[in-house]
């Protein structure tokens, strides 16, 4: 499972980071950074989904390969 972040939608609220700090961060400009470029480690998948669901801008998408 991967997470795709749409930077054009991200408003930098940081709710994803607060919900799942092991998966999401924000950069100096307040844009979301997914800590994993490829697959999310299995033990963090639930956290990753929580972060997706917390985003009010629908900027995060789960990609199931
Ligand atoms: S919650 Fe959404 S809008 Fe806010 S920083 Fe995360 S991805 Fe960006």
Instruction: Reply yes or no on whether the pLDDT at 65 is more than 90.
Output: no
Per-position DSSP letters for 30-61, written without gaps between them? S-EEES-SSPPPGGGHHHHHHHHHH-TT--EE
CA of 42 to the centre of ligand 1 (A): 22
Tokens standing for residue 29: 């400009």
Q: Which atom of ligand 1 is nearest to the CA of 17?
A: 6
Which of 14, 17, 29, 62 for mutating ligand 1's site (highest number of atoms within 8 Å of CB)?
Answer: 14
Give the residue-averaged pLDDT of 49-64.
Answer: 97
pLDDT tens-place string over residues 16-47: 999 999 999 999 999 999 999 999 999 999 99
CB 59 less than 6 A from any atom of ligand 1:
yes
* CATH 3.30.70.20 given to domain 2-63: yes
């Amino acid at each position: 499972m991967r997470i795709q972040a749409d930077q054009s939608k991200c408003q930098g609220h940081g709710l994803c980071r607060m919900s799942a700090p092991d998966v999401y961060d924000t950069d100096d400009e307040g844009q979301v950074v997914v800590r994993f470029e490829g697959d999310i480690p299995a033990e963090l998948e639930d956290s990753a989904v929580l972060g997706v669901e917390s985003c009010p801008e629908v900027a995060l998408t789960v990609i199931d390969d």
